[in-house]
């Protein structure tokens, strides 16, 4: 096992989130779409642990943690994950108190099947952020970090 397994899982999560954001067949309960947002940020945050614990990845725990601490998007990701994991956020990396907020739903009913497009927000102290845009930035940051350190993407 290596960090690449978790990175691939994260990329699959990202593809499902992209489908929800851009439109897909409506074939599951509405709460499942919100779950996909949480799944992405949980898996994104947990990539940190896979990088730290993979003996084939050259960076130390301190270097990985520092990378999170200097990137607001990854700080928000960590806060979303930890708040979800513990029901509330006791210690914040971002000071933004992020949480999955409202959603804009576009439902199209046709002769065949229903299509749905949902754009979620991440509510923060500084105002709402688009969840898919945040996810895109987080994934891009991790890929850039891995590539810079000589890892395989």
Q: Is the pLDDT at 44 greater than 90, yes or no? A: yes
**Angle of helix 131-148 relative to helix 72-86, nearest 10 degrees?**
110
Q: Is the pLDDT at 111 greater than 90, yes or no? A: no
Note whether 101 and 121 are within 8 A (CB).
yes
pLDDT in tens, 45-85: 999 999 999 998 887 889 999 999 999 999 999 999 988 77
pTM given for the model:
0.92
Q: Is the pLDDT at 88 greater than 80, yes or no? A: no
pLDDT in tens, 89-107: 687 888 899 999 999 999 9
């Amino acid at each position: 096992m290596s960090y690449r397994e978790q990175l691939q899982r994260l990329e699959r999560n990202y593809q499902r989130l992209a489908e929800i954001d851009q439109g897909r067949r409506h074939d599951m309960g509405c709460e499942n779409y919100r779950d996909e947002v949480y799944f992405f940020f949980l898996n994104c945050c947990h990539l940190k642990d896979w990088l730290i614990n993979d003996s084939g990845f050259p960076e130390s725990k301190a270097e990985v943690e520092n990378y999170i601490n200097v990137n607001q998007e990854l700080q928000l990701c960590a806060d979303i994950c930890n708040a979800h994991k513990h029901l509330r956020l006791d210690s914040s990396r971002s000071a933004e108190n992020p949480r999955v907020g409202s959603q804009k739903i576009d439902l199209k009913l046709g002769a065949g099947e229903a299509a749905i497009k949902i754009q979620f927000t991440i509510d923060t102290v500084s105002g709402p952020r688009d969840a898919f845009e945040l996810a895109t930035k987080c994934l891009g940051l991790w890929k850039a970090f891995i590539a810079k350190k000589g890892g395989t993407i």
